[in-house]
Amino acid sequence: MRIFSQRRTIFFTLIIAVYCFYSLAFGASGAEGDGHGGPVLDILIGLIVILLAAKLGGDIFERFGQPAVLGELVIGMLIGNLNLLGITVFESLSHDITLEVLAELGVIILLFEVGLETTVGEMRKVGMASFLVAMVGVIFPFFLGWGVGYWFLPESSIYVHIFIGATLTATSVGITARVLKDIGKIKTKTAKIILGAAVIDDIMGLVILAVVAGIISAVNQGAGDSVGTMTIAWIIIKAILFIVGAVLVGVYLIPTYFNLALRLKGTGVLLSVSLLICFALAYVAGIFGLAPIVGAFAAGLILEEVHFTKFHERGDHSIHELIEPISIFLVPIFFVRMGMMVDITTFTQVEILGFAAVLTLVAIIGKQACSLVIRDVHVNKIAVGLGMIPRGEVGLIFAGIGAKLMLDGEPVISVSTYSAVVIMVMVTTLVTPPALKMVMLTRPAEEGM
């Protein structure tokens, strides 16, 4: 059947693609008889571009021995900045709300998958280590960032400096989880310590952010600190309630859910119930003020193989096999889109670059302190420090909140500070995959669970 040469195939494919983009760009679609289409066509072209880019980017980087996720990020950056070359056809992809939601679902599914590969027992084993790593990984970058803020913006308020410190606290566990998964090291003790610490420092970072934002609001409203204290207390209580609640759900409710689910007729019950638990905990984390991915990870953590045995007995696939295709479909959307969010032009502004360089440096150095608290010789200390580096979407969300928060008529995070944070996020995200891969693969002797 292979009548055409590969060159011809690519040629014809390009012709079809050009026609499609022409239709997209000039609205030729549906000029007459637009019986169907509408928003779904925009998403289809977005998914085509993203899935194709993800596979090609991943392939190129894997050929150079780099993790696929880095290729997805870099190719996303290229697509997102094509408008600099006058190619504006992809610009709408960065702002599409549906693609944003699909990307968020992707990272939720990824953390659920990672959580599934971990059990509560294993987490309890690394619990103390993770907690210490998280503490150090929050405190050092926070105060270093505060100092850098004071150094570069001496005339700004102390709250601005604190806010800059806060943007450095939370680890973006998505990148590290993906790298560890790609190189087959997700089940190591090192991986579990990093993942546990990333979840804990996300919570700590959110508490700091909420506290700082609360104080700034109180200052703005001329209210006393009492409002702030109440707010702080409530945020901390909610975070603790969520963690305790998730564990209780896991121990007391999950087995009964699966017993009830076993009685359901129809196909796909195991996957549907698992997705329901994942989405429900992600949602509850969200309304508790935490990141939905924290809930998704918790859901994966509390679901154990023992819950699925009766489903396996009746011939269902394992939950890993069922989740994987959804993950293959949705996860690259998150990473390509994260790359697309980067504005390459910020690289060219010298005054921002200096601030960004120092901020990035303390972001990286600050997390290396994490390796100091590791006592276990079976754990790859350097990998723990490296795995905590990426700041990803959490840092960007923090900076975005700061940009909207006003203090004395000025945004807490100015435009140039925001750019510096973006560069910091970008560099920490880009350096982690190759560094982590190298350290995990060249020093495997220390590993063991």
Enumerate residues 84-103 that contact a copy of itself by CB under 8 A.
97-98, 100-101
Q: What is the dihedral of CA 273, 274, 280, 286, to 10 degrees?
A: -160
DSSP string, 20-50: HHHHHHHT-TTSS---S-THHHHHHHHHHHH
1 binds a copy of itself (CB under 8 A): yes
Return d(Cα 107, Cα 284) in angstroms, integer.
Answer: 16
Q: Which is nearer to a copy of itself, 33 or 224 (CB)?
A: 33
- Residue reference for tokens 């997390």: 367
Size of the site for a copy of itself (CB under 8 A): 109
Among 14, 18, 25, 59, binds a copy of itself (CB under 8 A): 59
Return d(Cα 383, Cα 408) in angstroms, integer.
Answer: 43
63 binds a copy of itself (CB under 8 A): yes
Q: Residue 188: name the closest of 390, 435, 442, 444 by CA.
A: 444
Answer yes or no: are the C-beta atoms of 365 and 136 closer than 8 Å: no
Among 54, 179, 352, 430, binds a copy of itself (CB under 8 A): 54
Return d(Cα 147, Cα 141) in angstroms, integer.
Answer: 10
Longest dimension (CA), the chain: 78
Site for a copy of itself in 14-33 (CB under 8 A): 16, 20, 23-24, 28-30, 32-33
Q: Which is nearer to a copy of itself, 260 or 415 (CB)?
A: 260
394 binds a copy of itself (CB under 8 A): yes
- Shortest distance, position 448 Cβ to a copy of itself, whole Å: 25
SS3 343: coil
298 binds a copy of itself (CB under 8 A): no
Rounded to a whole number of angstroms, the CA Rg of the chain reads: 23
Residue 411, beta-bridge partner list: 406
4 binds a copy of itself (CB under 8 A): yes
Among 70, 79, 108, 132, binds a copy of itself (CB under 8 A): 108
How many other CB atoms are found less than 10 A from the CB of residue 318? 14
Among 25, 84, 244, 287, binds a copy of itself (CB under 8 A): 287
Residue 407, beta-bridge partner list: 410
Answer yes or no: are the C-beta atoms of 79 and 49 closer than 8 Å: yes
Among 73, 164, 193, 209, binds a copy of itself (CB under 8 A): 209
Among 25, 37, 91, 237, binds a copy of itself (CB under 8 A): 37
112 binds a copy of itself (CB under 8 A): no
- Residue reference for tokens 């239709």: 23
- Shortest distance, position 443 Cβ to a copy of itself, whole Å: 24
157 binds a copy of itself (CB under 8 A): no
Among 116, 195, 284, 413, binds a copy of itself (CB under 8 A): 284
Q: Which is nearer to a copy of itself, 275 or 382 (CB)?
A: 275
Among 150, 329, 369, 403, binds a copy of itself (CB under 8 A): 329
